[in-house]
Amino acid sequence: MRTASAGPEIERLMALLAKLPGLGPRSARRAALHLLGKRDSLMRPLAEALGDAADKIGACSECGNLDVTNPCAVCASPGRQPAALCVVETVGDLWALERAGAFKGRYHVLGGVLSALDGVRPDDLNIAKLIERAARDEIVEIVLALNATVDGQTTAHYLADKLAPTGVSVTSLARGVPVGGELDYLDDGTLAAAFRSRAAV
Amino acid sequence: MRTASAGPEIERLMALLAKLPGLGPRSARRAALHLLGKRDSLMRPLAEALGDAADKIGACSECGNLDVTNPCAVCASPGRQPAALCVVETVGDLWALERAGAFKGRYHVLGGVLSALDGVRPDDLNIAKLIERAARDEIVEIVLALNATVDGQTTAHYLADKLAPTGVSVTSLARGVPVGGELDYLDDGTLAAAFRSRAAV
Ligand SMILES: [Zn+2]
Ligand SMILES: [Zn+2]
């Protein structure tokens, strides 16, 4: 898209903004103009916050959560119940469950789900580490909090098979999650209710 | 909104992203996670592009357009017709007209419109400079390309009165612009047609 007189600096800025989820080319243009109008109150602080977060935030080597510390604050917290792990697809899902306050154990972020269509195989996901964690003495229950999509449920069955030898109880969220729904879009009450009525896989 | 374990760095990033037009708290969270997953291909380049644009891009002291040079590329171009000025509310509107290729003269960015409700008065807009430019010998026509809103039309009448003593022909875009419509949302063809059938105010 030609923007006439704006020059390569703003073209580049708009092209990068347009790569954010939820922003297309038009809204990226509006965002760029908005930023240029709030240079000191928004544009420079955002540049700094992006660089700062890129430098300081990393994946927890234990669970895959994003945090400034490794292990992350959840893994390091002595207040979390040691007997339960909750398996989620993404860090966004972990945050959604934390907001719902539904779970007091620790998490395991898979980094996606198995998908024939997208070519995602078990080795592409954070599964080996999950099996390792599940085999630890203190773990009694593993809650599979995967999206209620075909790929999510396929992955849940795959994990249930893989976890069977460890002897831990493998549960999944109750069918309060709408079919085809994504955890990150659910209200906290629904998410908490689905957590409470979780059942054996 | 509590995001549990993410820490102040990511809270700050999400709060700043949520200030962009088109991104609310939820989409800012998704954007932040998306960025953290594309640290080297998107997050750091965006930080750099923001800082770069903030440093290099400024308002043209002649017309109010945003560019890396002052005067801007449009004002400095010897290829633009010297007899006509097109008055727009925002730089986004200037870009929309340039994309439509409807106008070959130069621009004047008001920086908004008069508004009793928002307390925007003539002194708050780039009007004195417009009168100064209109009084120059070479200017024959001033096209008022303001949004077809009540405030836009009030501003057009105010400017037509102010410009009358200069003797230039003051025109406005034809009523091809939908009532209540904003220029930046129009397709190029409509914008070009409205430009062609502009009429005296
Ligand atoms: Zn962790
Ligand atoms: Zn200019």
A95/A37 same-domain check: no
Q: Is residue B196 part of a domain?
A: no
Alpha helices in chain B (DSSP H): 7-17, 25-37, 44-56, 73-76, 91-100, 128-134, 150-163, 188-196
Spatial separation of the C-alpha atoms in residues A162 and A143, rounded to whole Å:
14
Report the CATH number that the domain containing residue A108 is assigned in CATH.
3.40.1360.10
Q: Do B7 and A65 touch (CB under 8 A)?
A: no
Q: Which residues of chain A lie closer than 8 angstroms to B32, CB-CB?
A: 53
Across the interface, whether the CB atoms of B33 and A5 are under 8 A apart is answered no
**Whether B49 and B12 share a structural domain:** yes
The tokens for B200 are 């005296």
ipTM of the complex: 0.80
Task: Specify the DSSP class assigned to residue B178.
Answer: P
Is residue B200 situated within a structural domain? no
For the cut 60, the answer to whether the pLDDT of residue B70 exceeds it is: yes
Closest CA of chain B from A181, distance in Å: 16
Contact A30 B184 (CB under 8 A): yes
Same domain, A81 and A48: no
For B125, the domain range is 66-180
The reply to whether A41 and A100 lie within a common domain is no
CB within 8 Å: B46 and A43? no
Q: What does the pLDDT look like over B81-138, one tens digit per residue?
A: 999 999 999 999 999 889 888 899 999 999 999 999 999 999 999 999 999 999 998 9
CA distance A142 to A131: 11
From chain A, pick out residues whose CB is under 8 angstroms from the CB of B10: 53, 57, 66
Identify whether residues A30 and A70 lie together within a single domain: no
Domain contains B26: yes
Q: Are residues B20 and B80 in the same domain?
A: no
Residue A15: give its domain's CATH number.
Answer: 1.10.8.420
Q: Is residue A103 in some structural domain? A: yes
Q: Do A164 and A73 fall within a single domain?
A: yes
Most confident of A5-14, B5-14, B88-97: B88-97
Provide the domain count of chain A. Answer: 2
B109 contacts on A by Cβ (under 8 Å)? none
Which chain B residue is nearest to residue A29, measuring alpha carbons?
B92
Q: For the segment A32-80, what is each residue's pLDDT rounded down to a tens digit?
A: 999 999 999 999 999 999 999 999 999 999 999 999 999 999 999 999 9
* Judgement on whether residues A39 and A91 belong to the same structural domain of the protein: no
Do residues A76 and A21 share a domain?
no
User: How near does any CA of chain A get to the CA of B61, in Å?
Assistant: 15
Question: Do B50 and B71 sit in the same domain of this protein?
Answer: no
If one counts every other C-beta atom within 10 angstroms of the C-beta of residue A136, the result is: 11
Closest CA to A11 of B95, B190, B14: B95
pTM of the model: 0.79
Judgement on whether residues A175 and A117 belong to the same structural domain of the protein: yes
Judge whether B108 lies within some domain.
yes
pLDDT digits (tens, 9 = 90+) for B13-67: 999 999 999 898 989 999 999 999 999 999 999 999 999 999 999 999 999 999 9
Q: Are A35 and A74 found together in one domain?
A: no
User: How far is residue B100's CA from residue A3's CA, in Å, rounded to a whole number?
Assistant: 10
